[in-house]
Structure 1
Amino acid sequence: MSNIIDNKTIHSVQGEKIVIQGAREHNLKNISVEIPRHKLVVISGLSGSGKSSLAFDTLFAEGQRRYMESLSSYARQFLGSMDKPDVDLIEGLSPAISIEQKTTHNNPRSTVGTVTEIYDYYRLLFARIGHAHCPNCGREIKEQSEDQIIDTILGWGEGTRLTILAPVIRGKKGEHQKIIEDAQKSGFVRARIDGLMVELDDTIKLDKQKKHTIEIVVDRIAIKDDSRKRLAESVEAALQAANGVVIVLRRVNDDSEKGYHEEEVFFSQKNACPDCGISVPELQPRLFSFNNPFGACPECTGIGEKMEWDAKKILPDDSLSFNEGALPFYNPDSEWNKSLFGAVAETGGFTLDTPLKDLSESQREFLWKGDDTKIMHWIYRKQSGEGFSEYKRPWIGIWADMKRRHNEAWGESQRVRMEERFMSVSECTCCHGKRLRPESLGVTVGGKNIIDLCALSVIESLDFIEKLELTETEKLISVQIIKEIKARLTFLKNVGLDYLTLERSAGTLSGGEAQRIRLATQIGSGLTGVMYILDEPSIGLHQRDNERLIDTLTYLRDLKNTVIVVEHDEQTLRTADWLVDIGPGAGVHGGNVIASGTPAQVMEVSESLTGQYLKGTLFMPIPKERRKGNGKFISIKGVREHNLKNVSVDIPLGTFTCITGVSGSGKSTLLSDVFYPVVSNTLMKTDYKAGEHDSIEGIENIDKVINIDQSPIGRTPRSNPVTYVGVFDSIRELYASLPDSKARGYKSGRFSFNVKGGRCENCQGAGTITIEMNFLPDVFIQCDVCHGHRFNQETLDVRYKGKNISDVLNMTIEEAADFFNAIPHISRKLETLKSVGLGYIQLGQSALTLSGGEAQRVKLATELARPSTGKTLYILDEPTTGLHFADVKVLMEVIQRLVDKGNSVVMIEHNLDVIAQADYIIDLGPDGGNKGGTIVDTGTPEEVAKRWQETGSYTGKFIEDTLKHGHREE
C-alpha cells in the first residue's frame, strides 16, 4: 500500500518539476537540483562553472538518449546513439530540443533562406504561380492547352475582331519557297512576312542572306455566340502548322485615325520563346534550387562564385623583368623556366631582362596568349648535369600554361598553394552571382525573380509578400504557401533578425544569429510539452532587440514548454521565473549549486556572484576619467562594403574604442571586412581580401595589429592551451634538462605525446582507446598499458619536484603556476593565463572542449605574455561572449592594462557595462540592414548618452541609464 502512495507522489512531482539527483558530468560535484516545468529557467554562473554540463551534457543528453532508446536497434544504427550521462536519477523529463550557438553551416551552399526553409517555400511558390520569360529577349512564355487558349480568346468579348496567325518561320535566313508553296497547297491565301500582310498568290521573293519571319493567316473572325467551333478549328490548324504556337491579332478600338490598333497576343502549348527558340523547362521546385543540377548555373554549379586566375597576383609589378621575378608563378631560378622563357623571349623578340611594361602590344599578346604558328626551339640542360633535352613546339601562352600546370599538379597541396597565391574568388560571369540557370532567373512573381526576392531583407520581404497582387486563380493556388512564408518571416523578425537577407551565406552568421534562426524555426513548429535548452541566445544582440527575444522565450514557455536558458544577460536573468546559479568558481572550483530559486531569492544568497551582481552589491566600476589618447588617429574613409553607406570615421589611438550599434548595422563589416584586412596587409604582409573603401590613413602610427577572435585554438583533441601559448615547449625542455634525462639521452621530443619515442604506443599518446560499437556509441576505455598517463614508463620515471610529465598535464593552470614559480619564463606565461580567468583549466585539457570565450582568452593571454611595444592595435569582436559578470570584470581589467601601456584596443560590443568602460564610442545604425550603415554618433559614453534624442542613437539611450545608475571609480 505504501508503495502505491509513493508512486503517486513521484508522478505528482514529475508533473511539476524536473528532478536531478547525483549529477557528476565533467566538473559537476554530485549535485541535486529541482527545476520547475513549464517555466523560463535560466542557468547562470562563471564561465567554466558547469552550466553547460548541467544543461546540455546532463539534461539534454539524457532526454535525447531516452528518446533514442525507445527506437528499434535497426533505426538506432542510422541515427547513432548517445552516452548515458553520469547522473543517478532524472525524473520529469520531456522530449528535449537543443538550440546551441554552434554554427555548422560552413557549406557555401547554405544560406539563411535554405537554413530557415523559407527558400523551399519560395521555390514552390515560383513553380506554381511563376511567370516564365525568355532568358534572352524577356518575352513572357505561357504553357496552355488548346481549350485554355480558346477560352482566353472567347473571354475577350463578343464583337472582338481577330486574325489567327501560325508563325511557321521565326527569324531564320533563307528564301523559304517550300514553306510558302506548302501553305498555298493547304488552302491558305495570306501571310504576314516580316510584319507586312501579303497575298500568297503574289510572287514572293525573299533575300536568302537575311533573317525572315513568316506567319500564315489561318483565319479572320469576329467573336460571336456561335463562333467557338470555327475558332477551335482555326486555333487547332495554327497550332499544328506552327508546332504548338499561335499568334492572335486582336483589334482594340482607340482614338487614332484608323479608330483601332491591333494587339498581338502570343499563345504556346509548350514553354518556348517563338523569337529565340529557347525552351523553358516545366516549372518545378527543383528548377529553382541552386543545389540541384536541374536548376543550378552550369558554370559555377550553383555557388555563384568561381576561382579564377588573378592578374594582379600573377603580375604584381610590371616594371620588373622575368629575371627580376616579375612573374612569381614562374621561379626565375628554375633551369626549366629559364630555358623555356628564354625561347619565349627569343621568339617574341625581347629578352628576359626587358621590363614587362616595355613590351609592345604584339609581344604582350604573344607572351600571355601564345601563337600556334610560331615554333620555338630550346634546349633544357638537366640540373644534375647529366645530359640535356631538346624541344620544338609552339608557345601556348602564360594563361594556358598556368591552367595546364594547375590541372597537372602532382598533389592537392600543390594545387591549393597555386590557388591561394595566384587565384581569387570572383563572381560567376554566367549567372553574375545569382547561382541559378538563366531559364530559372527568367521566372518572376510580382515582377521579381527568386534571387531578387532573396536579396530583400526579412522586413522588406514581408512588405513585398503583403503587397503582392495576384489573380483569383493564383490566390487559390498560393494561399497556403504564402501563409507559411509570412509566418516564418515574422518569426525571424520577432527574434531580432529583420535585417538579414535570405541570400546571405549561413557561414557568415554569428553564433547568436544562427541560434536565433533555429529558435525562429522552433517557434514555427508550435510544439507544446517540450523541453527547450538554449545556449546564450542574446549573443550579438543589442539591448534594443533584447526585449523581442525575451518575448519569444516567454511565448515558448506560455505554450506549456519548459524553456531552459544558459545565459549571462542581466535583462534575461531578471525576467526568468527561476534561476539556478552554478559555482562558486570555475573548473575544479565550480560544479556546485550555489542558489536555486526566483531571481529575488537568488539575490539574497550572499555566496551567489550572480545574485550579488543583480542586487548591486557587486558591480563593474565606471572609469572616473576617459583617456584622450596619444593625439594620433587611424582614419577610415569612404567605406561602401555591404550596407555601409560611404562611411568615414577616425579611430583615436592610445584608447579603448567600442564600436556599437544594433545587429546588422555594419559593425563587423567596418572592423573585420575592411579595417583589419587593410591594416594587417600593410603591417603584417598578409593577403586578406579587403572590402570596398577609399583609403585608410595613419597606419604608420602603429607597429602591429592583433586580431583576437573566438575561433578554436586547435582542430584536434591533441591541441591544448599550453601548446598554444608555447609554454609546453619550455616544460618539455625543462624535463629534458634534468639529470635523469641527460643520463638516458632524452631530448625534449621524448616528452611529447604527439610523436613516437616517449609516448605510449598502445594508445598513441591519447591515454584512452576507442572501441567502435556499430549502432551503439563508441566506448572510450582507459589504456591498459599506460593507465591513462599517455607516456611510457621510462618517460614517466623522469620527475621534477616529484612530478612526472603526465602529472604536470593533469595540473590546473593555477596549480602549475605555483609549481613552476622558480622558473620565470614558464611561470610568467602561466600567470597570464591565470590573469584572464583561466586558472581552472587543466594544462593538458583538449582545445576542442574550450568554449569560444575561453579560446579567445587563451589568445589574449598569449599576446599579454609577449613584450609590448606600446604601439600595438588589438581588435576584438564581442569578447564578452559566454562570460559572467565577474569574468567580464577580469577581462576588462586585462583590456585596460593593455591600453595603459600605450596600446590601442578596438572592440565590437553590446554589453552595456563594457561600453561604459570605453574611452570612445563609434555608434553605427540607426537600424540594421538597409536602414543601417551610417555613423550615428561618436564620442565618449557621456557625450553619446547626452545626445541620443537628437542623434537617434539606441546605444546612447541605453548607456544613459547605465551611466546614471552605475558606480564610478573612486
Structure 2
Amino acid sequence: MSKNIVITGARENNLRDVSLSIPKDKITVFTGVSGSGKSSIVFDTVAVESQRQLNETFTSFIRNFLPKYERPQVDAIDDLSVAVVVDQKPIGGNVRSTVGTMTDIYSVIRVLFSRHGTPSAGTAAAYSFNDPSGMCAVCDGVGRVVALDLDRAIDWTKSLDEGALLLPGLSVGSWEWSLYADSGRFDRTKPIAEYSAEDRELLLHGADFKVRLQLKSGSADMKFEGIVSRFSRLFLKRDTAAMSEKRREAAARFTVDRLCEACGGARLNEAALATRIDGLNIADWAAMEVADLVEVLGRIDDPVAAPLAAAARERLERLVGIGLGYLSLDRETSTLSGGEGQRLKVVRHLGSSLTGLTFIFDEPSVGLHPRDVGRLNELLIRLRDKGNTVLVVEHDPDVMAIADHVVDMGPKAGTDGGLAVYEGPVELLKEADTLTGRCLRRRTPLKESFRTPAGWLPVTGADLHNLKGVDVRFPTGVLTAVTGVAGSGKSTLVSGVFTEAYPEAIVIDQGAIGASSRSTPASYIGVMDTVRRIFAKGNGVQPGLFSFNSSGACAECSGRGLIYTDLAFMDPVTTTCQSCEGRRFHDEVLEHRVKGRSIVDVLDMTAAVAMEFFEDKALLRKLRTLNDVGLTYLTLGQPLSSLSGGERQRIKLATRLHRTGSVYILDEPTTGLHMADVDTLVALLDRLVDAGNSVICVEHNMDVVKRADWVIDLGPDGGKHGGEIVFEGTPRQLLDHPESFTATYLRRDLAA
C-alpha cells in the first residue's frame, strides 16, 4: 500500500499543473500568501475528490440526498483515503443547538440524571428540551418567549376613539377596531389607564362572546378576541414566512424577547428541573463552565453512575484541553466564533475510534492566543498518532513547527501563484528562498517610539457577559491592540460594550460578505457603475448593455459564463458556455470599445492594470483602495466566491478606508493572512492612524502587538477567570508585566 497521496496535474482555480506527493500518517502543513493556491489544492482538489468518490459507494437513491461534487480539474489523485473536513464555517444551528447537544455531552448527562438523579423524571428523553416529554410547555424548550409589549401596543393615556390601540390593523374606524369599540363592553371615550381591572383583562384577553359589526356587505356576528390573544394568533403562533415583509416588520415593533417566566430560561419542564444530583438540577449543570463541571462529575462515585460520569468527564476534559473550558453546555452554537466552532468540531472527531482517515483543517489557530496554540498542536499530534493523515492550511509558525512535511505555495498570489515552491521538512523551509522562508527567518522588532494619544474614549462599569465592572480608556489618534486569551472578554468589551457606547465607530468584523458567482471585486468596491457609464458614453448606448446581469448578458448562460448541468444520480458537470465562450456577454456588447478595449477586456484586467487604463478620478480613488490592502493582483471581474478568506476580509476593509477622524474597530484582521500580508496590513493601519483616525484591533498576532502604540490586555484567563483589565500601556511596558500571558509570549517572540 502506498505511503503517499499522489496528485498529478492539479489545475483548480489558479493552480498551474501542480503535482505533489503528500505523506500519509503524517502532519502536512500547507503555507503561502492568501490566494497562492493552498485551499485550491487541499479543499477544492483533495477533499472534493475524496468526498465525491466516497459518495459513489452509495446507492443512487442515497446519492440523490447527498451533496453533489463535481470532479476537480486534475489528471489523477492516487491512494486517497476518506477525508474529514474541519473548516471555519460557522456551526450555525437554530436556538435548539447548544454546545452540549452538538458535542453529544448533554446526551450523556441526561442519561446520568435519569439513572442517578432524585426524584427521577423518567428516561433520558424527559431531560431533553428538544423532546415534548422534557421541554417547557410555555416556551417549547427555547428558554425565551417573544411576547407582546403592552406599552408599545397601547397608548394608555388615550381612549379607544382617540386611537389607543396601536397594533397593525387596529386604526380608528377599521372593522377590527370596531370589534372593541362597538362591543358595548367598554367606554370608548375613557382613557385605557382608567379602566377597571376587569375591563382591562377583558380588553387584553377576553373571549367567548360575539359582537355584531356593520360591514360594507352587511352586518355580521364576529367572535370577540382580546388584543393580546389576537396578536399572538396572528403573529406569534403561526408561520410568519407567508406574511409580507412590511407586515412582519410592523409586528416586530410591538414585541419583546424575554426569558420564559415558567422555566426561568432553563428550557425544561418542572419534572425535569425537580431532579437533583448533589442539590443541583440538570439546568444548573448545563449553565456551569465546562472546567467547573469536570470537578462536579469527579465527585460522583456511585457504582451505577460512575461510568456515565467518567464518560461525560472525559469528553469535557477534551474541551478544557483545547482551551474551551470557559464555555458552558447551554451556550447556543450560533453565538460561537469561527475559531471556537472549529475547535468543537475537532473535539468531536477526537472521540472517534476510526483510523486511516485524512483530516483536513482550515487554519485551526484562528482565534487562538499563542498560549492556546500549543494545546491545538497536541490535538493534531494525537489525531496523527491514532493512524490518520492530517493536512493543515496554516500561517502560524507555531503550527508549522510540528509539521512532518511542509508544502509552500506561491510564489505570490492569484495569477502569480498556483505553484508548489517548496516541499520538505520545516527546518529546511526556514532556509528556502521563498516568501514564507524569508518571513520565518526574520522577527519583527518592537517599535522604537509610540504615538501619544490625542484623547481618550472611556468605558465605565462594563459588566456584559464575563466582564467584571471594567473601567477602561481607549486612546484616540493611535493604534490600539486589545489582547488576551480566548474567552477573556476582548470581543465583549470592544464589539459589545464599546460599540454601543460609541455607535459612530466603523466596525469591520469577520462576518461574511456577499459572495455570489455574480459578485466581483469591481461591483463590491463600487466601480462597475462608473465603468458602465464610461463605456455607454463613449459608444452612445445604454449602460445596462455592459452588465452581465442586465441587457448585455449572454442569453444562453444568463450571464454566468458557465452552463451547470445536473445529471441527477451522476456527478454534476459545469461547462464553459459555447455561445459566449465564458465571456458572459453577447457578441454585440464586445463591438463597443473604449481605448480599443471591450468590457470583457476590462474585467480581465488586474486592479493594477486598470489603474493605468482609466482616468476617472473617482474610479481611480476606489481602485487604489485595493492597492492599499494588497489586492491589486485581483482581476476586476473575478467572482468573489472564488476569493480566499483573507482576501475577502481585506476587500471588505478596502470599502471602508479613507475616512478621516473616525474610529475603526477591526476584529482579528490578521485572520487568514500570511506573515508577509500582515506587514501590508499593519502598514495600512499605520496609514489610517497617520491620516487622523483611531484604530482598535482585537488581535492575537504578536507582530501587530509589537507595532501597536497602546495595548489593553484582558484576562487573566478565560470565562469566569477573565473579564478583568490585566494591563494598559505601551508594548514596551507590557514586556515587564509578570502575570500577563500576552507579555509571556511577547517576550518569547522577541527572544526567538
User: Could you state the TM-score of these two structures normalised by the residue count of structure 2?
Assistant: 0.90
1:123 aligns with 2:110: yes
Match of 1:449 among 281, 300, 314: 281
User: How much does 1:898 deviate?
Assistant: 1.3
SS in 1 for 2:297: helix
1:101-125 superposed Cα distances (whole Å, 9 cap, x missing partner): 1123232211111111111212222
**2:139 maps to 1:300:** yes
SS in 2 for 1:791: coil
Is structure 2 residue 64 aligned with structure 1 residue 67?
no
Shift of 1:336: 4.9
SS at match of 1:842: coil
Asked if the contact 1:658/1:907 (under 8 Å) is kept, the reply is yes
**Counterpart position of 1:437:** 269
- Aligned pair in 2 of structure 1 residues 841, 446: CA closer, same or farther (>3 Å)? farther
- Find the aligned partners of 2:590 and 2:114 in 1 and give their Cα distance: 69
- Please tell me whether residue 857 in structure 1 is matched to residue 671 in structure 2: no
Q: Secondary structure at the match of 1:876?
A: strand
Secondary structure of 2:453 counterpart:
coil
Query: In the alignment, is the contact (CA less than 8 A) between 2:516 and 2:640 conserved in 1?
Result: yes
Aligned to 2:344: 517
Does the 8 Å contact 1:103/1:507 carry over to 2?
yes
Q: 1:91 deviation in Å?
A: 3.0
Indicate how the Cα distance of structure 1 residues 349 and 343 shifts in structure 2: closer, same or farther if over 3 A, else same: closer
**CA offsets per residue over residues 608-664 of structure 1, 9 Å max, x none?**
111111111xx5454332222212x22222222222222221111222222111111
1:201-250 CA distances to partner (integer Å, 9 max, x unpaired)?
A: xxxxxxxxxxxxxxxxxxxxxxxxxxxxxxxxxxxxxxxxxxxxxxxxxx
Separation (CA, whole Å) in 1 of partners of 2:177 and 2:214: 7
In the alignment, does 2:95 pair up with 1:95?
Answer: no
Q: Cα–Cα, structure 1 residues 89 and 310, in superposed 2: closer, same or farther, change >3 Å?
A: same
Counterpart contact for 2:450–2:709, Cα < 8 Å: yes
Q: Could you tell me which residue of structure 2 aligns to residue 636 of structure 1?
A: 459
- Give the letter aligned to residue 566 of structure 1: V
How many angstroms apart in 2 are the aligned matches of 1:588 and 1:833? 16
Inter-partner Cα distance in structure 2 for 1:370 and 1:528:
61
Whether the 8 Å CA contact 1:339–1:379 is kept in 2: the answer is no
Counterpart of 2:637 (choices 844, 854, 859) is 844
Question: Aligned in 2, Cα 1:912/1:320: closer, same or farther, shift over 3 Å?
Answer: farther
How far, CA to CA, are the matches of 2:436 and 2:557 in structure 1?
A: 42
Cα–Cα, structure 1 residues 307 and 805, in superposed 2: closer, same or farther, change >3 Å? Answer: farther
Structure 2 residue 283 is the aligned partner of structure 1 residue 492: no
Specify the code of the residue in structure 1 equivalent to 2:378.
D
SS of 1:874 mapped into structure 2: strand
Shift of 1:919: 1.6
Q: 1:796 offset after TM fit, Å?
A: 3.0
CA deviation after TM superposition for structure 1 residue 582, in Å: 0.5
Unaligned 5+ runs, structure 2: none
How big is each residue's C-alpha offset from its partner over 1:435-491, in whole Å with a ceiling of 9 and x where there is no partner? 222222222334332222111222112111111242x4x24xx52x33322221122
> Match of 1:898?
688
**Given residue 611 of structure 1, which amino acid in structure 2 is its aligned partner?**
G
Tell me the distance in 1 between the aligned counterparts of 2:632 and 2:371. Answer: 35
Provide closer, same or farther for how the CA distance between residues 775 and 448 of structure 1 changes in structure 2, counting only shifts above 3 A: farther
> Closer, same or farther in 2 for the Cα pair 1:373/1:605, shift >3 Å?
closer
- Provide the alpha-carbon RMSD of the alignment: 3.5
Deviation (angstroms), 1:132: 2.3
- 2:730: which partner in 1? 940
In structure 2, what is the equivalent of residue 878 of structure 1? 668
Residue 735 (str. 1) matches residue 535 (str. 2)? yes
Q: Is the alpha carbon distance of 1:86 and 1:376 closer, same or farther for their aligned partners in structure 2, counting shifts above 3 Å?
A: closer
Q: Tell me if 1:589 matches 2:384.
A: no
The change in CA–CA distance for 1:670 and 1:323 in structure 2 (over 3 A counts) is farther
Shift in Å at residue 569 of structure 1?
Answer: 0.8
Q: CA deviation at 1:403?
A: 4.4
Does residue 623 in structure 1 map to residue 447 in structure 2?
yes
- Deviation for aligned residue 1:592: 0.9
Q: Percent same amino acid among aligned pairs?
A: 41
Classify 1:445/1:676 alpha carbon distance in 2 versus 1 (closer, same or farther; 3 Å): same
Kindly indicate whether residue 51 of structure 2 is the aligned counterpart of residue 51 of structure 1.
Answer: no
CA distance in 1, matches of 2:161, 2:643: 50
Matches within 5 A, 1:189-268: none
Partner amino acid, structure 1, of 2:601: D
In structure 2, relative to structure 1, the CA distance for the partners of 1:324 and 1:89 (3 Å cut) is farther
| Partner residue, 1:253 | none
> The residue matched to 2:499 in structure 1 has which SS?
helix
Q: Does structure 1 conserve the Cα–Cα contact (< 8 Å) formed by 2:175 and 2:213?
A: no
In structure 2, do the counterparts of structure 1 residues 375 and 592 end up closer, same or farther at CA, with 3 Å as the change threshold? Answer: closer
Residues 704-748 of structure 1: CA distance to partner in whole angstroms, max 9, x if unpaired? 32111122221633233322221112112222222341xxxx2x2
Contact 2:556 2:579 (8 Å CA) reproduced:
yes
CA 1:319–1:783 in structure 2 vs 1: closer, same or farther (change >3 Å)? farther
Aligned residue number for residue 742 of structure 2: 955
In structure 2, relative to structure 1, the CA distance for the partners of 1:313 and 1:34 (3 Å cut) is farther
Aligned to 2:296: 464
**Cα deviation, residue 373, structure 1:** 13
Amino acid at match of 1:453: W
Correspondence for 1:612: 438
- How far apart are residue 940 of structure 1 and its match? 1.3
When residues 462 and 69 of structure 1 are mapped into structure 2, their CA distance, relative to the original with a 3 A threshold, is same
Shift of 1:498: 1.5
Aligned amino acid, residue 552 of structure 2: G
Amino acid at match of 1:840: Y
Q: Hey, what does 1:833 align to over in structure 2? A: 626
Pick from 666, 669, 682 the counterpart of residue 489 of structure 2.
666
Contact persistence 1:711–1:852 (CA under 8 A): no
Please give the alpha-carbon distance, in whole angstroms, between the structure 1 residues aligned to 2:676 and 2:618.
28
CA contact 1:495–1:549 (8 Å) conserved in 2: yes
Bigger radius of gyration: 1
Structure-2 change in CA distance of 1:674 and 1:377 (3 Å): farther
Structure 2 match to 1:150: none
Decide which of 254, 273, 289 is 2:128's aligned counterpart.
289
Output the CA distance in 1 between the equivalents of 2:676 and 2:151. 50
Residue 92 of structure 2 aligns with an amino acid whose one-letter code is H
Counterpart in the other structure of 2:548: 753
CA contact (8 A) 1:656 1:918 kept: yes
Tell me the distance in 2 between the aligned counterparts of 1:329 and 1:862. Answer: 40
Write the letter of the residue equivalent to 2:360.
I
Question: What do residues 244-279 of structure 1 show as CA deviations (whole Å, max 9, x unaligned)?
Answer: xxxxxxxxxxxxxxxxxxxxxxxxxxxxxxxxxxxx
Secondary structure of residue in 2 paired with 1:879? coil
| Residue 99 (structure 2) pairs with residue 112 (structure 1) | yes
Q: Aligned partners of 1:41, 1:372: CA distance in 2, in Å?
A: 69
1:424 match: 256
Name the aligned partner's letter for residue 643 of structure 2: L
Q: Deviation per CA, 1:118-160, whole angstroms, max 9, x where unpaired?
A: 1121222223333226xxxxxxxxxxxxxxxxxxxxxxxxxxx
| Contact map agreement 2:171 2:177 (CA 8 A) in 1 | no
- Worse overlay, 802-811 or 406-415: 406-415
Q: Secondary structure at the residue paired with 1:131?
A: coil
Whole-angstrom CA distance in 2 between matches of 1:290 and 1:810 = 54
Q: Describe the SS at the equivalent of 2:7.
A: strand
Tell which deviates more after alignment, 389-398 or 554-563.
Answer: 389-398
Offset, 1:63: 2.5
SS in 1 for 2:735: helix
Structure 1: which amino acid aligns with 2:660? T
Higher mean displacement: 89-98 or 545-554: 89-98
CA–CA distance in structure 1, aligned partners of residues 171 and 553 of structure 2: 43
SS in 2 for 1:652: strand
Given candidates 613, 617, 622, the residue that maps to 1:824 is: 617
Please give the alpha-carbon distance, in whole angstroms, between the structure 2 residues aligned to 1:668 and 1:326: 43
Q: Which has the higher contact order (CA 8 A, sep 6+)?
A: 2
Bigger mean CA deviation after superposition, 917-926 or 520-529: 520-529
Per the TM alignment, residue 536 of structure 1 is displaced from its structure 2 partner at its CA by 0.8
* TM-score (norm. length: structure 1): 0.71
- Mapping of 1:767-846 within 5 angstroms? 767-820=561-614, 822-846=615-639
Q: Which runs of no fewer than 5 residues in structure 1 stay unpaired? A: 1-10, 134-279, 381-386, 681-703, 966-970
